[in-house]
Amino acid sequence: MAYIELLLGLLFLIGGGNILVDGSVTIARRFKVSPLLIGLLLVGFGTSMPELATSLLAVARRADGIAIGNVVGSNIANILLVLGVAAVLRPIKIHTNSFGRDAIFLGISTIVLLASLLRGHIGWELGALMCMTLAFYVYHAYRTDKTHMKGHVVEPQPIALSRRFHVSTPLAVVLTISSLILLLVGAHMVVNSVVILASHWGISETIIGLTVVALGTSLPELVTSIVASVKNQSDVAVGNVVGSNIYNALFILGFTALFLPVVVPPSVKPDVLVMAATTMLLLAIGWGRGKIDRWIGGCFIAMYFMYIIYLGMH
C-alpha cells in the first residue's frame, strides 16, 4: 500500500508543478510583477507548506530531530539537488539586480537560523522575531518589485497548458491554487509512504529528518524548478528555491516555536554548518557569475550525494 501511495504522490507532484509554473507566470503578467517575485512569494511559500506541516507535527510529537532535520535538510537539498538538476536540464541565468535584494535576505535568514540552532533552543520570543523578519522581507520584496516593474509594459496573456487548451488569467489563479493543493497532498503522500518504508530499515529520527523527510518535502521545489527550467522560466526556478529557503529558515521553525519550544539535538549541528556553507556557495555563484551552468549543476548534484553518503557513514 505504501508503494501505491508513493506513486500517486509523485504523480500529484508532477502535475501540480507543471500547472503551478504556468499559472504563476500568468499571474505575474496580470499584476505587472516579475516572475521572480511570484516565485519568491507564491511558489516559494506554497512549496514550503510541506515543511511547515511536517515540523509542526514533529514538534507536537516531541520528535524535534525530524523538525530540525526537515528544515536543514530541505535547504541543503533545495540548493544542491533542486538547482543542480534544473541547471543540468537548462543553464540557469540569474538576474543580479533582483537576486542581490533577495540574496541579502537569504544570507540574513541563514545567519539567524544558524545562530538559533547553535544556541540549542528556539522559544516563542525568537520565533516571533523570525516571523516578523519574514513579514518585513515580504513587504520589502513586494514594494521594490512593484517600483522596478512600474515602467514596464506587460500585457496579460493566456497560458497554454497544452497545444489545444488556453487558460485565461482568472482561471489561471484557480489552477494555481489547485496546483498548490496538489503539491501539498502529493508531498504528504510521498513523505508518509517513505517514512513507513524507512522505519523498517532501522533509520534514526534525525537521519530520517535530514534525508527522507527533507527530500520528500523538497519534492515540490524539485518538480516546480524542473518544470520552470524546461519552460525556460529561470526566474521562477531561482525564486522558488531562494524564497523557499527564506521561508524555511524564518517561518517554519519560527512559526512552530510560537506554539511549542523547539529543542535542537546536538547531532544536527554539523549539518547546520553544511547548510550555511551551501547557502554561501549559492550567493557567491549568483553574485560572481550570474549563471548556474550545467557543469556547476552537476557539481551541485555530486556534492549532494556526497553529503548523503556522509550521513550514511555517520
Q: What is the pLDDT of residue 299?
A: 95
Q: What is the pLDDT of residue 160?
A: 39
Q: What is the pLDDT of residue 49?
A: 66
> Hey, is 167 helix, strand or coil?
strand
Cross-strand partners of 263 = 121
168-183 pLDDT, tens per residue? 667 777 877 887 788 7
Predicted confidence band of residue 237 (pLDDT cuts 50, 70, 90):
confident
pLDDT score of 42 more than 80: no
Q: What is the pLDDT of residue 99?
A: 72
At 137, list the grid cell: 522581507
Query: So where are the chain's domains?
Result: 35-148+184-313
Quick one: average pLDDT of 43-51?
64
Please state, rounded to an integer, the average pLDDT across all residues of the chain: 76
CATH number of 35-148+184-313: 1.20.1420.30
217-234 pLDDT, tens per residue? 677 767 777 777 777 776
Regarding predicted confidence, which is higher, 110 or 14?
A: 110
Written in H, E and C, the secondary structure of 63-79 is CHHHHHHHHHHHHHHHH
pLDDT score of 165 more than 50: no
Predicted confidence band of residue 114 (pLDDT cuts 50, 70, 90):
confident
- The C-alpha cell 527522507 sits at 212
Q: What is the pLDDT of residue 38?
A: 64
Which of 249, 237, 210 lies closest to 107 in space, CA to CA? 249
Predicted confidence band of residue 94 (pLDDT cuts 50, 70, 90):
confident
259-311 pLDDT, tens per residue? 888 888 877 888 889 999 999 999 998 888 878 888 999 999 999 999 988 88
- Alpha-carbon distances, residue 28 vs 16, 168, 188, 244 (angstroms): 18, 13, 28, 18
Q: What is the pLDDT of residue 44?
A: 59
Q: What is the pLDDT of residue 176?
A: 76
Cross-strand partners of 167 = 159
